[in-house]
Amino acid sequence: MDFLFNKSAADSVSPASTLPYCIANDDKTLLLNYDSLDTLTNRELISEFMKVHGYHHLVIFNMPDRADVLPLKDWPKLKGLFFKNTKTDIFEQGLQEIKKGALWFPRTVSDKWMREMLETEQKNQIQSNNLTFKESKVLHLLSSGATCPQIADTLFISEATVRVHLHKIYQKINVKNKQKALQWCERNIDKLNKLAG
């Protein structure tokens, strides 16, 4: 695959116009130039092409440093990403690891994907507790140290209604008392803040 590289440019993959848009190698790995994404091709075309021709791995190369990486995780059989100016030895090492079954993603990409996944998981967990908007407000106020009378005043409801909301909240988040609810809030504070607005 030496034709992928511009060896004179400090031993790195070059964004030069000589880089091909798509390379298929004998390891059943399809290498796709980032510049071709959603212009010359799309996920559906690549998925069909890989299926028809028996490719097991997709690698996207020549990716700009500031590219939006979140949509890339949805590409079929994506096993690796390489930024523009990735050093040749790193590129080759990555391809070898992918051939062995490993994934090869830059740390910044993995970090963004993990953060998005965890945030989505946390939102789903809160939503799976089926807390209503009012219940999430009550829980948010409780976690910030408000008493039942203060919660009632803030939300313009009676203290009895606050107690009813708290009882329902405890059932939904599967805790027995205020102390356990506050511990649950500490573990889920980011989610609670987003849900309570």
Question: Which CATH number goes with the domain that contains 190?
Answer: 1.10.10.10
Count of the separate structural domains present in the chain = 2
Among 110, 135, 161, identify where a domain stops: 110
* Residues 103 and 141 occupy one common structural domain: no
Tokens of 112: 């963004």
Q: Measured between alpha carbons, how far is 111 from 98 in angstroms, rounded to an integer?
A: 19
pLDDT value at 79 more than 90? yes
pTM, two decimal places:
0.55
Q: What is the mean pLDDT of the chain?
A: 81
How sure is the predictor about 151, in pLDDT bands with cuts at 50, 70 and 90? very high
> Residues 18, 89: one domain?
yes
Residue 149 confidence (pLDDT) above 90: yes
Q: Which of 50, 59, 55 is nearest to 86 (CA)?
A: 59
Pairing of strands 29-33, 22-24: antiparallel
Per the document, the length of the chain is 197
Residue 120 lies in a domain: no
My answer on whether 58 and 153 are in the same domain is no
Beta bridge partners of 182: none
Q: Are residues 93 and 172 in the same domain?
A: no
| Domain end call among 110, 143, 175 | 110
Q: Is residue 104 within 8 Å of 63, Cβ to Cβ?
A: no
Position 102 scores a pLDDT of 92
Which CATH number does the domain housing residue 73 bear?
3.40.50.2300
In this structure, is residue 50 part of a structural domain?
A: yes
pLDDT digits (tens, 9 = 90+) for 52-70: 988 989 999 999 988 888 8
User: pLDDT per residue over 100-127, tens digit each?
Assistant: 999 999 999 999 988 888 777 666 555 5
Q: Which long-range contacts (CB under 8 A, 24 or more apart) does 127-130 make?
A: 127/195, 129/172, 129/173, 130/172
Write down the pLDDT at residue 12: 44
Three-state SS string across the chain, please? CHHHEECCCCCEECCCCCCCCEEECCCCEEEEEHHHECCCECHHHHHHHHHHHCCCEEEEEEECCCCCCHHHHHCCCEEEEEECCCEHHHHHHHHHHHHCCCCECCHHHHHHHHHHHHHHHHHHHHHHCCCCHHHHHHHHHHHCCCCHHHHHHHHCCCHHHHHHHHHHHHHHCCCCCHHHHHHHHHHCHHHHHHHHC
Q: Are residues 103 and 129 in the same domain?
A: no
pLDDT greater than 60 at residue 93: yes
Q: Do both 17 and 87 map to the same domain?
A: yes
By residue range, what is the domain housing residue 63?
Answer: 2-110
Q: Which pLDDT does position 19 carry in this prediction?
A: 57
